[in-house]
Structure 1
Amino acid sequence: MKLITWNCQGAFRKKADIILVHEPDIVVVQECENPEKLVFNSKTQKPNDFVWFGDNPHKGVGIFSYSDFKFEPLEHNTDIKQILPVSVKNEQIGFTLFAVWANHPNDSDGRYVEQVWKAVNHYEELLSEGQVILTGDFNSNKIWDKEHKKGSHSDVVKKLAEKNIWSAYHKYLEQGQGKEEHPTFFLHRNMEKPYHLDYCFTSKELYEKIKSVEVGTHEDWTAHSDHTPLIVHFDL
């Protein structure tokens, strides 16, 4: 199973083909337009299943299946608007996928990593059941920990680690939090302003089946978005 998360910076209908070159099974897309606006080119491969959620018709979160995986949205705490738990199943495996876009500008507690912190606490029971993946644009990094008294990026990482849920990129490629060698975001698409903001956290059983972890480069993706995709390939 190849899983890709990518903040497409809008208009995914015009950009799907460049993701599909990588032959994904599941794609989680932030800043994706809603189904009414998501009209693909006639030659673009259509997903076999699709879930979208968000308030802005131009920028929500889309979850696409390009294989036999089927989706069923689970109970959603709408106070944590842009983080949705979804049941993912095919004939071989089932797991819970949390599609993440940490961005809630109207939350007085904080719009970015605070949303992820709320989610890992609210969905604590669900995170403790079976196989789990949390993936998407977390809009956070350890380098900003000092700005948060509670619910920092490191707090999120620690709480998930207590449940044997780890960042695939960091563990598989032996990267330190806050010391990433591969940025996933370039502010204003500027190569001189790199950050690592996108993650794929997996439970122990799924982590042990990872075959590869890749991050797109600025050179290949800057024409399409200020983010690059994170690609995790599992032997499932």
Structure 2
Amino acid sequence: MANESVRLVAWNCAGGFHRKSKVLDAHAPDIVVLSEASKDCVSLIGGEASGAWIGSHPGYGLAVLGMNGWKIETIETAVEESLFLPVRAVRGSEQLYLVGLCAKKDGDYVAPTLRALTRLSAFISEKGAILAGDFNQSVKFDAREVLPDISGGCWMSLKASALSARGIIPATRNSVRRHRPATSIAGNKDMAPTSITHLCREDSRFRQQGWVLTMPLSRPD
């Protein structure tokens, strides 16, 4: 079995992607999970980019984009009310299963996220899918012993329940406290990322941050 690598970016662009799309150029991503993006985000990248988008408004939604020859296929029913989008990314004989997400609030962020994970549990477990996107969680809330009654408790609750029960562990940890980063990437222990870096860490124009993760990808013989 030959090993290739794939570069995955998860980024909450906080709207205005038409002004920010060049940020991706420096990272040469293969697959991008883009939160709070407009419906035309695929065409804004140009070239032979492939993608899928869901949202309740053309100016605000969630996209999974494929670049460098990767094609995005929707193969499972999306949980549109919570912005959870399961896809298969394919390039030749290579493939990767992924759930892009941008957790939406319904009272809090925990309950709708758990509902979406339950609906997609078979896809996540059977395909070994990666979860990537905006969980609406914050490192400053993660550190507290008791779950606060605010959005930041989502990640702690997920780690203790739905994610850990499915063998899913975080590949990224938010470490920049001066902002409120919410984007994360999680998967099973076989992800074995070879590098993890911040996206836009020092660029004050794009305070919504993200992650760039490179990991090996096994290609079937």
Q: TM-score, normalised by structure 1?
A: 0.76
CA distance in 1, matches of 2:67, 2:50: 7
1:234 aligned residue: 215
The residue identity in structure 2 corresponding to 1:211 is T
Stretches of structure 2 lacking an aligned partner (at least 5 in a row)? 1-5
> For residues 47 and 226 of structure 1, do their structure 2 counterparts lie closer, same or farther at Cα, with a shift above 3 Å needed?
farther
CA-to-aligned-CA distance 1:126-181 (integer Å, 9 cap, x gap): 12112211111111243482327xx84323113212222111014xxxxxxxxx53
Contact 1:113 1:140 in 2 (8 A): no
Q: How far does residue 219 in structure 1 lie from its aligned partner after superposition?
A: 2.4
Partner of 1:68: 69
Amino acid at match of 2:71: K
Percent identity (aligned): 23
Partner of residue 213, structure 1: 196
**8 Å contact from structure 1 (residues 28, 99) kept in 2:** yes
Q: Which residue of 1 aligns with 2:182?
A: 197
Q: Which of 146, 149, 170 is equivalent to 2:148?
A: 146
Runs of 4+ in 1 over 3 A off after TM superposition: 37-40
RMSD: 2.4
1:53 and 1:214 map into 2 onto residues whose CA distance is 27
1:90-138 CA-to-partner distances (Å, cap 9, x unmatched) read 234323211111124xx3x43x233322222221111211221111111
Report what 2:56 is aligned to: 55
Question: Residues 36-59 of structure 1: CA distance to partner in whole angstroms, max 9, x if unpaired?
Answer: x7653xxx6534211111011111
Q: Is the strand fraction higher in 1 or 2? A: 2
Normalization by structure 2: what TM-score?
Answer: 0.81
Partner of 1:155: 157
Partner Cα distance (1:134, 1:5) in 2? 10
State the distance in 2 between where 1:125 and 1:200 align. 19
What is the SS of the residue equivalent to 2:87? strand
The equivalent of 2:19 in structure 1 is 14
Whole-Å Cα distance in 2 between the matches of residues 113 and 46 of structure 1?
37
Give the aligned partner of residue 182 of structure 1.
176
**CA distance in structure 2 between the partners assigned to 1:11 and 1:70 by the alignment:** 24
Q: 1:47 to 1:13 in 2, by over 3 A?
A: farther
Aligned to 1:127: 124
The answer (yes or no) to whether the contact 1:117–1:152 under 8 Å persists in 2 is: no
The Cα of 1:218 is off from its aligned counterpart by 4.2
Structure 1 unaligned blocks of 5 or more: 171-179, 184-190
1:31 maps to which of 12, 21, 36: 36
Alignment partner of 1:147: what SS?
coil
